[in-house]
Amino acid sequence: MPVEISVGAPQLTINEDRTFMVTDLGGEIAADTELGLYADDTRYVSYYAVFANGEPWIRLTSAATSYYAARIHLSNPPFATEEHDVAAGTLTLVISRTIGDGGVHEDLDVTNHDLTAVRFNLEVALRSDFADIFEVKTHRFVRRGRIVTEWDAAQHELRTTYANRDFQRSFAYRARQCGVSPSYANGRVVFEIELAPAATWHTCCHYVLAGRRPGRGCYPGESGETEADHLQREWQESATQLTSANEDVYRLYRQSVEDMGALRLHDQGFAPDVWLAAAGVPWFVALFGRDSLIVSLQNMIVDPRFARGALEALARLQAREMDDWRDAEPGKIPHEMRVGELAHFGRIPHTPYYGTADATPLYLVVLHEAWKWLGDDALLRQYRDVALRCLEWIDRHGDLDGDGFQEYRTRSSQGYENMGWKDAGDAVVYPDGSQVRQPKALCELQGYVFDAWLRMAEVFEVLGEPERAQDLRAKARALQARFEERFWCDDLGSYAYALDPAKQPVRTVVSNVGHCLWSGIVAAERASRVVARLLEPDMWSGWGIRTLSARHPAYNPVSYQRGSVWPHDNGIIALGFKRYGFAAEAGRVFRDISEAASCLVSYRLPELYAGIERRRGTFPVLYPGASVPQAWAAGSVFHLLQAILGLQADAPRRRLYVDPELPHWLPELTLRGVRVGQAKVDLRFWREGERTRWEGAVREGTVDLRHEQWRPWRVT
């Protein structure tokens, strides 16, 4: 039986839409920490503690019972009253919290288990700092504006407001149904409680953020369904269903589907059947270009509506002019959009910030892949001009020096040093461990553009523009030839990490080359060496493929991107393995990730975990700052499934290609309700000896199921 590991720091996290609350396991928020109640990139509650006659309560147990709900069980320490001393464990306090419609509903229930009555003060201490999330994350606070706190005795409400010129935020803590009149003094809301033996006292407390009242009532699961609940239920019912005798895969899939829906942003003005996910909790509850695009690709076999949301939201924000502060150029797809105080006053460039070199080609990849799964030609016409601007950006601004390769360089004083998916400032290193300076031409960027050009060639054929299609195919062939000439390192058995400012190869072994397999830019005769290199012990940890070779001087298994394991990275690599015919190797990666998930509470994959070698009796070591839930970590299992099942849609021609190879540890699997255009398909897979068998049934619509060797993105 695998050991069960709590994900991340010992804390409780609940979320819905842009509101999330992070507390310690006792439900409290310590001062001078990153804990708090957040919404719209602002921390509304920076301190919360609860006392019995001035003494802190003792935690018995606690858990997040849903993505939006938590429950904390506490008991009292010994304390004195005027009548008698109260022994430890005489009272219990249950705190139940839910997030709904942007606010928090909190139930406080105190029960007296003594044989005598007890009279005491239940005290709730609260403070609000209204800090910007960037200040909290960096622990650099600048006092601005004015905070005013008022107590409304008639309404039983503590109101705190913040104003800095035209930027304003407000928070209210309201007590309801408490049976007593609370008071307020010294930063604490005080309830004078008198309880007979076996009696229970109850109150509701509402956290009202910027006027948003909580949409849930008392006790999780017993209140009515909110609009968010309705959308979450619809999402889980419409998503592809999976059953399998392998309990690890089944539980991982179910948790990933729930997390994906829980991360949906509801404020985009989309139709109810169009989805867009936040990148992750706690630091990335916002629109991210790269993340939303990769999540869209992951979800194609589950439900392609995420792609519609990403394409629409990012098209709205596509850059139209040069802006050095925000690293924007015409046609560029944004990296990150923020709405807090620092963004409001232009103290940070995230309005949005365009510091990503890969979101623009990935937008084109997603547009084509969404069309392949949805079969909607109108999608191509709708985003044709957006696509043209993306293509122009690739030629004009993605290639800084006109040498035919994609490279990046920031112009913003607060710009990012690295603009690929490994965006930590120390992620791109020479073989000796020193940092590569800008401009940098990452290997995967060349693959993304190669893939985007070929995909868009097919798109423009459909749109009746064959000359443009022919030109794109010619550019892709030329790029592939240049890539092989300049990036291949025969002695490494792999491709260079990047070209440095002098256009010399950075001969560092990294996981990024797996993305080159995924994009198809790798020469077929070299693919086997790349696959073998990624599975050597210095890259393969046993819990997945590391971001950086363990033989490298800069290797650190508990760093962010210099030796850690990222589930989404492994999902993309597995697709690359499958593309070149290495299905067994893709299955090995799937096993690593699923077995890592089996060690984690609720099978919830974090953003990353340490690259420490797997040995008998060991378990995944977690990175302390990892986001969980995190969208592309949750979606990694969908890519891993697509890899071993060889699913490739061609909805415009009403076809679904199936090329499965189940690993021995996963002898059977069933998917129900896979969407291909207007059709829905049920697919069953099983092993007979060393062979994989499958059968399919079309539940709705019309689609031709074809067993054919997997050639993803059939555009070459």
For residue range 139-195, list pLDDT tens digits in order. Answer: 999 888 999 999 999 999 999 999 999 999 999 999 998 989 999 999 999 999 999
**pLDDT band, residue 8 (cuts 50/70/90):** low
Domain 229-650 sits in CATH 1.50.10.10: yes
pLDDT at 625: 86
Report field, pTM of the whole predicted structure over 0.85: yes
Identify which of 431, 459, 310, 457 has the alpha carbon closest to the alpha carbon of residue 372.
459
Structure tokens that stand for 581 in this block? 């015919």
Residue 713 has pLDDT above 90, yes or no: no
Distance CA 135, CA 649 (A): 45
For residue range 692-711, list pLDDT tens digits in order. Answer: 999 999 999 999 999 987 66
The angle subtended at Cα 23 by Cα 19 and Cα 24, nearest 5°, is 165
Q: What percent of the chain has pLDDT over 70?
A: 97
pLDDT at 454: 98
Give, to the nearest 10 degrees, the angle between helix 636-645 and helix 289-298.
40
Residue 536: how many CA atoms within 13 Å on its side-chain side?
Answer: 17
For residue range 549-586, list pLDDT tens digits in order. Answer: 999 999 999 999 999 999 999 999 999 999 999 999 99
As beta bridge partners, residue 164 has 167
Q: What percent of the chain has pLDDT over 90?
A: 89
Distance CA 443, CA 298 (A): 21
CB within 8 Å of 691: residues ≥ 6 apart: none
| Residue range 270-278: mean pLDDT, rounded | 86
For residue range 96-140, list pLDDT tens digits in order. Answer: 999 999 999 999 999 999 999 999 999 999 999 999 999 999 999
If one compares 101 and 521, the residue with the highest pLDDT of the two is 521
pLDDT at 711: 65
pLDDT at 567: 98
pLDDT at 4: 57
Q: For the stretch 54-70, what's the b/e string if a residue is b when 16 or more beta carbons lie within 10 angstroms of its beta carbon?
A: ebebeeeebebebbbbb
Distance CA 403, CA 419 (A): 19
Structure tokens that stand for 272 in this block? 């109810």
For residue range 356-401, list pLDDT tens digits in order. Answer: 999 999 999 999 999 999 999 999 999 999 999 999 999 999 999 9
**pLDDT band, residue 1 (cuts 50/70/90):** very low
**pLDDT band, residue 301 (cuts 50/70/90):** very high
Distance CA 400, CA 409 (A): 8
| Number of neighbours of residue 704 by Cβ within 10 angstroms | 13
Residue 7 has pLDDT above 90, yes or no: no
Residue 269 has pLDDT above 90, yes or no: no
Asked if 155 and 137 touch (Cβ cutoff 8 Å), the reply is: no
Residue 222 has pLDDT above 90, yes or no: no
Alpha helices in 403-503 (DSSP H): 443-462, 466-487
Asked if 656 and 705 touch (Cβ cutoff 8 Å), the reply is: yes
CB within 8 Å of 444: residues ≥ 6 apart: 358, 420, 421, 512, 513, 515, 516, 519
For residue range 16-33, list pLDDT tens digits in order. Answer: 999 999 999 999 999 999
Residue 196 has pLDDT above 80, yes or no: yes
| Alpha-carbon separation of residue 196 from 113, 116, 122, 231 (angstroms) | 9, 7, 16, 43
| Residue range 65-78: mean pLDDT, rounded | 96
Distance CA 239, CA 259 (A): 12
Distance CA 426, CA 173 (A): 43
If one compares 650 and 226, the residue with the highest pLDDT of the two is 650
Domain residue limits, the chain = 11-224, 229-650
Q: What is the largest CA-CA distance in the chain?
A: 92
Residue 497 has pLDDT above 80, yes or no: yes
Structure tokens that stand for 188 in this block? 């604490």
Structure tokens that stand for 96 in this block? 């139940």
Q: What is the mean pLDDT of the chain?
A: 95
pLDDT at 275: 86
**pLDDT band, residue 715 (cuts 50/70/90):** very low
| Alpha-carbon separation of residue 31 from 35, 127, 176, 184 (angstroms) | 8, 9, 26, 20
pLDDT at 369: 98
| Residue range 480-509: mean pLDDT, rounded | 98
Query: Checking DSSP bridges between strand 36-39 and strand 19-24, what pairing results, if any?
Result: antiparallel
End-to-end CA distance of the chain: 47
For residue range 314-372, list pLDDT tens digits in order. Answer: 999 999 999 999 999 999 999 999 999 999 999 999 999 999 999 999 999 999 999 99
3-state secondary structure of 328: strand
For residue range 621-638, list pLDDT tens digits in order. Answer: 989 889 999 999 999 999
Q: What is the CATH number of domain 11-224?
A: 2.70.98.40
**pLDDT band, residue 487 (cuts 50/70/90):** very high
| Residue range 256-282: mean pLDDT, rounded | 89
pLDDT at 217: 76
